[in-house]
């Protein structure tokens, strides 16, 4: 059921539209430090796991730079497409990690072939969810609001299951939930 989302171009286009909206809102707010206007300073990422047909614009990470000469602070917008500095798209990291929980060796091979991710990378993501992620300021604050608590050893599956709706709606809700860590280095950008 979630495997189909990994290749669903329409879902990824929706994530791009949401990211564009988040970027537009951030630009209207201006510089977080001095309040001046923001100039476009998008940068290109080379994400892995991108389904064919999305185009080069999909690889742009929306970011801005303060127009004030004395400030010049960068504002990288929260994103539903990118999970911090991870090379693979956020949806791929979440879904492959979630599908990995309790997966048979056959399913793991299928996931590897589907998105081109290695077993080593899948294990590294697992360690990120169980180690780095649960130590972030974001998770320490968020975990306290989830009652009953999620099963940490089953992250991100246990978190994905907290949301309701179709698999598409659940994944979208989880990516929205995780968006704050996509632009804050203190929240697990390793």
Domain membership of residue 189 (yes or no) is no
Burial pattern 47-63, b for ≥16 Cβ within 10 A else e, equals: bebbbeebeeebbbbbb
Domain membership of residue 20 (yes or no) is yes
Question: What pLDDT, on the 0 to 100 scale, is given for residue 20?
Answer: 97
Measure the N-to-C terminal CA separation of the chain; round to a whole number of Å: 29
Domain membership of residue 164 (yes or no) is yes
Domain membership of residue 140 (yes or no) is yes
With 0-12 / 13-18 / 19 or more C-beta atoms within 10 angstroms meaning exposed / middle / buried, residue 176 is middle
Domain region containing 86: 3-180
Domain membership of residue 143 (yes or no) is yes
Question: What pLDDT, on the 0 to 100 scale, is given for residue 169?
Answer: 96
Contact 160, 170 (CB under 8 A): yes
| pLDDT at residue 93 greater than cutoff 80 | yes
Domain membership of residue 185 (yes or no) is no
pTM, two decimals, is 0.89
Q: Which two tokens stand for residue 95?
A: 């879904």
Domain membership of residue 39 (yes or no) is yes
**pLDDT, tens digit, 9 for 90 and up, residues 1-20:** 778 888 899 999 999 999 99
| Spatial CA neighbour of 47 closest among 57, 37, 39, 32 | 57
Domain membership of residue 174 (yes or no) is yes
**pLDDT, tens digit, 9 for 90 and up, residues 30-76:** 998 898 999 999 999 999 988 888 888 899 999 999 999 999 888 88
CB atoms closer than 10 angstroms to residue 98: 23
**Number of structural domains found in the chain:** 1
């Amino acid at each position: 059921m979630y495997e189909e989302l990994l290749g669903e171009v329409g879902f990824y286009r929706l994530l791009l539209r949401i990211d564009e909206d988040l970027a537009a809102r951030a630009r209207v707010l201006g510089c977080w430090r001095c309040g001046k206007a923001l100039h476009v300073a998008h940068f290109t990422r080379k994400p892995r796991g991108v389904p064919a047909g999305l185009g080069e614009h999909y690889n742009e990470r929306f970011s801005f730079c303060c127009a004030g000469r004395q400030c010049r602070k960068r504002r990288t917008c929260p994103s539903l497409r990118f999970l911090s500095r991870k090379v693979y798209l956020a949806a791929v990291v979440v879904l492959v990690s979630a599908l990995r929980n309790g997966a048979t060796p056959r399913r793991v091979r299928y996931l590897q072939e589907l998105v081109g991710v290695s077993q080593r990378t899948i294990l590294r993501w697992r360690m990120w969810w169980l180690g780095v992620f649960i130590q972030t300021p974001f998770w320490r604050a968020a975990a306290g609001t989830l009652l009953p608590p999620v099963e940490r050893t089953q992250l991100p599956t246990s978190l994905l299951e907290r949301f309701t709706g179709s698999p598409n709606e659940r994944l979208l809700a989880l990516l929205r939930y995780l968006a704050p860590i996509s632009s804050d280095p203190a929240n697990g950008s390793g």
